[in-house]
Amino acid sequence: MKKKVLALDIDDVLVPFGHHAAKYVSAVSGIKVGAHELYDGNTNGQTANGLCNKEFARLVRRYQLDDCSLEVEPIAGCVESLSDISEVFDIKLVTSRDPTISGQTMAWVENHLSMVDISEVHHVGNVHGPSGENNTKLGVCNAIGAAYLVDDQPKYYQQLKDSQIVPILFGEYAWNDEPALRSRDWFSDWASLTEFLLSN
Ligand SMILES: [Mg+2]
């Protein structure tokens, strides 16, 4: 029987990105930034402590291209869970990372998830990326026939809510701390997410 497609975000679902990126940007800029500020959107053009958003985006990209980001371990329980989940689902990664950093993404996946059966990796792009690619996760998830998308970002949850694809919110983060969203399909860790997926 053909497996259902499970689309998985990468940053803050498979790898603790926000925390490490914010730490790196704080260190190289000398201006303290919080992980949630990566996702706050452009309010007044700068972070709370005064780092210009354009410079913030540049330093986040520098982190993404820095080999130190390849060493970051997957989120707890992720690898073991994915091995079980891959028995039942066809796993495809769908990230909003820019296509120009796909080499780094693939290197991290090979470093840390080589024992997991992942059939495809898609770079959707985002407004900050140099490639100009900025597709929607909904479009990509439709194209790959996803049954579910697991993502930490409420905006992607919202994109999918009227589609046939089931959005699942993942992680206990400041940027997804919305009671209305967490009252639906939300899982704080890989153990509870895996239990849900394997029972559906
Ligand atoms: Mg993410």
* Domain final residue pick, 71, 87, 113: 71
Mean pLDDT confidence for 36-54: 80
Residue pLDDT, tens place only, 157-199: 888 888 999 999 999 999 999 898 888 889 999 999 999 999 9
- What's the CA-to-centroid distance between 188 and ligand 1, angstroms? 14
What percent of the chain is predicted at pLDDT more than 90?
73
Query: In CATH, what number is assigned to the domain containing residue 190?
Result: 3.40.50.1000
pLDDT value of residue 40? 72
d(CA 32, CA 34): 7
Query: Do 65 and 99 share a domain, yes or no?
Result: no
Mean pLDDT confidence for 58-69: 95
Query: Do 96 and 9 share a domain, yes or no?
Result: yes
- What's the CA-to-centroid distance between 15 and ligand 1, angstroms? 9
pLDDT value of residue 134? 63
Query: Do 156 and 101 share a domain, yes or no?
Result: yes
Query: Do 97 and 149 share a domain, yes or no?
Result: yes
> What residue numbers bound the domain in which 111 lies?
4-15+75-198
Reported as type and span, the H/E element at residue 174 is none
* Number of domains the chain contains: 2
- What's the CA-to-centroid distance between 103 and ligand 1, angstroms? 18
Query: Do 86 and 136 share a domain, yes or no?
Result: yes
Residue pLDDT, tens place only, 21-43: 999 999 999 999 999 988 876 55
Query: Do 143 and 180 share a domain, yes or no?
Result: yes
Mean pLDDT confidence for 113-137: 81
Tokens of 6: 């499970």
List the single range of 91-95, 121-125, 138-142, 156-160 with lowest mean pLDDT.
156-160
Q: Cβ contacts of residue 150 below 8 Å, gap of 6+?
A: 6, 7, 8, 9, 13, 168, 170, 193
- What's the CA-to-centroid distance between 78 and ligand 1, angstroms? 14
Query: Do 98 and 49 share a domain, yes or no?
Result: no
Residue 127 has pLDDT above 70, yes or no: no
- What's the CA-to-centroid distance between 30 and ligand 1, angstroms? 25
* Domain final residue pick, 48, 71, 94: 71
Query: Do 51 and 143 share a domain, yes or no?
Result: no
